Amino acid sequence: MKVIKVKDYEEMSQVAVQILLGYMYKDGRVNLSITGGTTPKRMYEILIPYVKDKKQFENVHYYNFDEIPFKEENREGVTISGLRKLFLTPANIKEENIHILDQFNYEVKDEMIKKDGGLDCILLGLGWDGHFCGNLPHTTRFGDGTVRVNCDEKLKERLIDEFDDPKDIPDYYITMGPRSIMQAKNLVMIASGTKKADAVKHLISGEVNENYPATLLTLHPNFTLIIDEDAASLL
């Protein structure tokens, strides 16, 4: 585990961009799985002008690592829609370089990624409760690959913020599990703000257990954690 402590959200975003670009400049196919949500917002803002319409990145392929479908399933899910808006569309990424995980292919997705040569890097956020991707505490086990997680009422409540209309909240969502994430060649996690400080404390403490799922990732041989001062405030 390499821990990079930075000053603030801005520097965290910049360092994340630099690390991602490092993988993207590789010759030959590069497979990245990238996170949506609010934490990477500034990162994508910085990244987009470096990537948009640049021939040198035609070899880079993008994968979403979880998906919350709309209940009606008549449109793309919350994660990929969010990634399109945040990054894929403003960066003009070609459709053939976008590899969607959804409720229709999740059972074969791990095998598909392996055939594509595996993921070179996954960029992940960290939840205040220690979750990563859709691996909320006690929804998946360390041994799980990409799975469908059924939502009880409590889980549905946590999804409310993702939807304008609560009728769209689905009965399940899809996520790459701990096993799938650990297969990547490199993992990079970003965390910013005091709301993440408790989860960060658990990551750094050395413990590894399913109450804080992201603690597992600290065991990956190439795991980089980027935290700002607020996220590091409980260390």
Site of interaction with a copy of itself (CB under 8 A):
2, 4-5, 14-15, 18-19, 21-23, 25, 27-29, 50, 55-56, 114, 117-118, 141-145, 178-179, 182-185, 205-209, 215-216, 218-222, 224
Minimum CB distance to a copy of itself smaller for 64 or for 215 = 215
Letter string b/e over residues 45-60, b meaning 16 or more CB atoms within 10 A of that residue's CB: eebbeebeeeeebeeb
Is-contact 191 225, C-beta < 8 A? yes
- Which phi-psi region, left, alpha or beta, contains residue 146 (left: φ > 0; alpha: ψ -120 to 50)? beta
| Residues catalogued as catalytic | 66, 129, 131
Least distance (Å) between residue 207 CB and a copy of itself: 5
- CA-based Rg of the chain, rounded to a whole angstrom? 17
Is-contact 178 143, C-beta < 8 A? yes
Least distance (Å) between residue 205 CB and a copy of itself: 8
Sign of CA dihedral 178, 223, 196, 39: negative
Find the farthest-apart pair of alpha carbons in the chain and give their distance in angstroms, rounded.
Answer: 47
Least distance (Å) between residue 89 CB and a copy of itself: 23
Minimum CB distance to a copy of itself smaller for 89 or for 209 = 209
Minimum CB distance to a copy of itself smaller for 28 or for 161 = 28
Least distance (Å) between residue 45 CB and a copy of itself: 16
Minimum CB distance to a copy of itself smaller for 68 or for 182 = 182
